[in-house]
Amino acid sequence: MTPLTRHSAMGLRQLLERREVSAVEVVQAHLDHIAASDGHLSAFLRVTGEQALAHAADVDRRITAGEPTGTLAGVPLALKDVLATRGIETTCGSKILESYRPPYDATVVRRLREADAIVVGKTNMDEFAMGSSCENSAFFPTRNPWDLERVPGGSSGGSVAAVAAGHVPLAIGTDTGGSIRQPAAFTGLVGVKPTYGTVSRYGLIAFASSLDQAGPIARTVTDAAWLLEAMSGHDPLDSTSIPEALPGLRGTLEAGVDGLRVGVVREFLGTDGLQAGVKARVTEAIDRLAELGADVVEVSLPHAVYGVSAYYLIAPSECSSNLSRYDGVRYGLRCDGSTAEAMMAATREAGFGAEVKRRIMIGTYALSAGYYDAYYAQAQRVRTLILRDFAAAHERCDVLVSPTAPTTAFRLGDKVSDPLAMYLNDVFTIPSSLAGSPAMSLPVGLDDDGLPVGLQIMAPVLCEPVMLRVARALESDLGFDPAPRGPNSLTEVAA
Ligand code: GLN
């Protein structure tokens, strides 16, 4: 019998609806699994077992009483620690927010609680979501369940490690330049970055406000679609939340790809530094799409190559502005100083890690008088050119595809001393972040080292239904098994 911790969220929902298990049993099984194996992974910053069991007991009571329950009733869920949770420590992976307890829930958290998803804990992340490996967490790195010597990707590294390990079937990540998609690719999961503005940013601790977007991480496309439906929707508390609702996702998931036009991004598949195993699996997946009836064509995004340069000016600029609020007065850490200025300087010196400081400095420089036009404004012009590239490509294509990341999961420590090498991991994910359009990663197989490879599927704004439909068609054709395996995997080591 499949253990409860390897069931999909929808599988668990069926068991719960048939009353074959209780929500308390489901949640307890996941908490036990976390207790037994998270020591190898460090996916969680904190586990909220007591509250989780109390919520599960309430769900069980309502099921028994015939009272209404939400669409995710009884399903365990992990939250990236960038999301504010009322009364529960929310650190964003930073010492500067250590022991900060928000007085409110992020809108996403509120919606998911209302859907009766059971929050079991907060997951580790790169500090303020800046990073691609989870090694920039101020607390500890998280390990990849497929190979414990490798990174899970980042910045949503704890969320993906938890889902891949079976600690939870569902988790929330956030994506500014790839932080849902790249870690999903590194751990054999489905990760979706929705259209900018469809998921509320209220209570999502800001890194780069014009790019940040929360989204679902799951082991199946269908689970990701359910989670996205539950978490999205207009929010008057977020001024960038769009009034349009995301079109229904679940109704068209099984519609197949027959007649759809799929554009293969020429520049991405031809990039130097693309690992052979990644290229092979992605090319095979694209061939399968053609065999399933899609019309596969080549397209060009001529300005996408400038995406990394533009992003690493725009995101740090917004970060330097957003992070100015951590002044030792309003939140978290405060260090002593003889004057207010000395206190603030000491607090920021002690509270922020090296990567965060690097970004604050780059961003402050890019926004400063005399350099603003040459850096920040220029980067914004490049952003517009990339947006136009996507518009042109989508005149011909329903979706675009590429590898999610140029490599599979790298080893811990491999890139920490070379920020540029780390930034280059985002080369394929950044363009759609700059364009604000939806994009996702789907696992399409393993490379020769037995590590998962992700295919990125990109769609026009609000076209999540067609994106998920392509993913679902390919998922059911490929039959990828998301259970981590291999000599150094969690499954072997914890056995
Ligand atoms: N790796 C990218 C960065 O460091 C993206 C991070 C993210 O999407 N939050 O900025």
Q: Is residue 192 part of a domain?
A: yes
Asked whether residue 364 is assigned to any structural domain, the reply reads no
Largest CA distance in the chain: 70
The phi, psi pair for 324, rounded to 5°, reads -70, -15
Ligand 1 atom nearest to 315, measured from its CA: 10
Going by alpha carbons, the residue nearest to atom 10 of ligand 1 is 130
* 179 a catalytic residue: yes
Query: Could you identify the residue written with the tokens 């991405």?
Result: 268
- CB contact set of 260 (below 8 Å; sequence gap of 6+): 293, 294, 295, 398, 399, 466, 469, 470
Does ligand 1 lie within 6 Å of residue 123's CB atom?
no
Residue 165 domain flag: yes
In a domain, 345, yes or no: no
Distance 451 CA to ligand 1 centre (A): 22
Which residue blocks in 266-377 are alpha helix, DSSP H?
A: 266-269, 276-291, 307-322, 340-351, 354-367
Decide if 338 is inside a domain: no
Please report whether residue 50 resides in a domain: yes
The pTM of the whole model exceeds 0.75? yes
Question: Residue 443 CB: number of other CB atoms within 10 A?
Answer: 29
Minimal-distance CA residue to ligand 1 atom 4:
131
User: Which CATH number belongs to the domain containing residue 125 in this structure?
Assistant: 3.90.1300.10
22 counts as catalytic: no
CA 176 to centroid of ligand 1, rounded, Å: 5
Q: Is 178 in the pocket of ligand 1 (CB under 6 A)?
A: yes
Domains: count for the chain: 1
Three-state secondary-structure class, residue 42: coil
* 432 is an active site residue: no
* Candidate from 81, 130, 181 with most ligand 1 atoms within 8 A of CB, to mutate: 130
Domain hosting residue 198, numbered range: 4-268+270-301+388-493
Per-residue pLDDT of the chain (495 residues; tens, 9 = 90+): 789 999 999 999 999 999 999 999 999 999 999 999 999 999 999 999 999 999 999 999 999 999 999 999 999 999 999 999 999 999 999 999 998 999 999 999 999 999 999 999 999 999 999 999 999 999 999 999 999 999 999 999 999 999 999 999 999 999 999 999 999 999 999 999 999 999 999 999 999 999 999 999 999 999 999 999 999 999 999 999 999 888 899 999 999 999 999 999 999 998 888 999 999 999 999 999 999 999 999 999 999 999 999 999 999 999 999 999 999 998 889 999 999 999 999 999 999 999 999 999 999 999 999 999 999 999 999 999 999 999 999 999 999 999 999 999 999 999 999 988 899 999 999 999 999 999 999 999 999 999 999 999 999 999 999 999 999 999 999 999 999 999 999 999 887
Closest ligand 1 atom to Cα of 154: 1
Q: Which atom of ligand 1 is nearest to the CA of 179?
A: 8
Answer yes or no: is 441 within a domain.
yes
Domain-embedded: residue 472: yes
Element holding 301 (H helix, E strand):
none
List, in order, residues 6 or more apart from 136 with CB less than 8 Å away. Answer: 93, 126, 127, 130, 154, 155, 353, 355, 356
